[in-house]
Structure 1
């Protein structure tokens, strides 16, 4: 799945979940990023986010498909959170709609 497809699916999930009050950036390292705020997600934005989640794209896809538990990913170091941790904690609803 490329970043455009991730942003499209995330935009749909954000709309279903009622959007985000704060912004989040999913940083895939050398494979780009996806920035989400409100009910939209966009690819490779340079905007500052309230929370940045660093994760390999394959692990992000596993999270989105329900094949990787977010808490286990965090505890095992597959997912790193910088900034407002409460934003990351509120993403469960978004992922359940992807």
Structure 2
């Protein structure tokens, strides 16, 4: 697992801790790896999810840091979403 994915998992777990996120979501960070998130938290692994979001490293880092709103990233084509858009919106609220 890359250092970037490891740090992202820790940051996502902080954000997810008390959020009550009730779906499954996966971030695919191009050239780095996958992060699976569900009610148990975030972890570096691949698997089935209600929604899969794909972004390059810079876009993902900007979303995670709060510099880039996930909805704005999607609307500008920097974030690709495949699957349950409702789950993506709920996760976006957690990340904002």
- TM range, normalised to the smaller chain? 0.7 to 0.9
Query: 1:27 is matched with which residue?
Result: 28
CA RMSD of aligned residues (A): 1.4
1:31-69 Cα distance to aligned partner (Å, 9 max, x none): 1111100041111x2311110000112111111222112
Alignment of 1:72-83 (within 5 A): 72-83=72-83
Query: 1:84 is matched with which residue?
Result: 84
Figure out how many residues of one structure are paired with residues of the other and give that number. 94
Measured in 2, the distance between the counterparts of 1:75 and 1:13 equals 23
Shift in Å at residue 23 of structure 1?
Answer: 0.5
Measured in 2, the distance between the counterparts of 1:41 and 1:23 equals 10
Measured in 2, the distance between the counterparts of 1:37 and 1:10 equals 11
Contact 2:8–2:64 under 8 Å retained in 1: no
1:15-41 Cα distance to aligned partner (Å, 9 max, x none): 1212x2110000012211111000411
Measured in 1, the distance between the counterparts of 2:46 and 2:67 equals 29
Query: 1:12 is matched with which residue?
Result: 14
Structure 2 residue 49 is matched with structure 1 residue 49 = yes
TM-score (norm 2): 0.87
Query: 1:65 is matched with which residue?
Result: 65
TM-score (norm 1): 0.86
